[in-house]
Structure 1
Amino acid sequence: MTTMVETPVALRRGRDLVSPELFEKVSEFCAEEYGHELSTARNIVDQALAFLKVMGDARAFDMTPSQVVDPGWHSFALHTRAYAAWCQEQFGYFLDHEPKATVRTRPLIGSVVERVKAAGFYVDERLWGAAKDCNPPACCGDGDGC
């Protein structure tokens, strides 16, 4: 009888989708612009990149980031040349950001988290309002159910 030992699969990280230099540049901007500690900004940008990859690959324009993760997308998009080049490389088109296009609700954010996880990315549930110990305003954002 043979016993199979399952080896844990390493989860993907959003930060690995860009160069280390670009990741730091965007993270530093996020920290300065939004008043975060650099370590927190790095986590936010990491989650934003994973979210963008999933949304862009699937052309899932019904997705929205949490209120906490959204500044990571803003910070990247404001580096317009790098963001446009990355979008073209990853998706073959520019992934527009339209603020408040979708109202954040707990069910919507929950589905986004599940899609990001299903794509094999690490999800920091505290930044998505999906952690069991979540408290407003870090919860789902501007919708119902926090």
Structure 2
Amino acid sequence: MTIAVEDLAGRSLVPDELFERLVNRIAKENDLPHEFAARIMDQTLAFLRACGEDRRAPLAPSEPVDIGWHTFLLYTREYASFCERAAGRFIHHVPNDDGEGPADPQDLIARTTEAVRDLGFAVDTDLWLTSKVKCSDGDDGCRASGKDGNENTDTNGK
């Protein structure tokens, strides 16, 4: 007897109302169809959950997933709360300002999608095709800075 196991959806990690607000903002600000924006946000949430695992190598979003991450960061309270639930700490966004990415961005994306898949999440492969990586969750392998995982010490505990 074979039992089919359905992949997890990233959207299950946040309340429906928040997911819809994020999707609507992505769609509006990027002139994208709602369905495509929903796919972006779903993969963003799965990616961030993977960043919450204790990994030795950094993970990075594809360009579409980075759009979702940027959008979520605008909702600072909700993002911080999500990070605490999903990772036990704040997940920092580290831009690649110098334009120097990893030697092989495809390897980094492959490692990232493998981490997402290993947690049981569906991977929307069309959203992970990329020619460059513009940011990561940090050089320290998915670990946030600061002793409590939040470099924003002026807002800790508030």
- Which category of TM-score, normalised to the shorter sequence, fits these structures? 0.7 to 0.9
In structure 1, the residue matched to 2:121 is 121
Contact 1:55-1:61 within 8 A present in 2 as well: no
State yes or no: 1:141 paired with 2:154.
no
Contact 1:54-1:115 within 8 A present in 2 as well: yes
TM-score (norm 2): 0.75
State the 1:61 CA deviation. Answer: 6.1
| Cα distance change, pair 80–44 in 1 and its aligned pair in 2 (3 A) | same
Percent identical: 38
Q: Which has the higher contact order (CA 8 A, sep 6+)?
A: 2
Contact 1:30-1:71 within 8 A present in 2 as well: yes
State yes or no: 1:62 paired with 2:52.
no
Aligned residues: 129
TM-score (norm 1): 0.81
**What do residues 19-66 of structure 1 show as CA deviations (whole Å, max 9, x unaligned)?**
000000011111112221111000000000000001112356610000
Contact 1:15-1:46 within 8 A present in 2 as well: yes
CA RMSD, aligned part only? 1.8
Does the residue aligned with 1:15 lie in a helix, a strand or coil?
A: helix
5+ long unaligned stretches in structure 2: 134-158
Moved more, 111-120 or 101-110: 101-110
For 2:68, the aligned partner's letter is G
| Cα distance change, pair 127–48 in 1 and its aligned pair in 2 (3 A) | same
Moved more, 35-44 or 87-96: 87-96
Contact 2:51-2:59 within 8 A present in 1 as well: yes
5+ long unaligned stretches in structure 1: 130-139
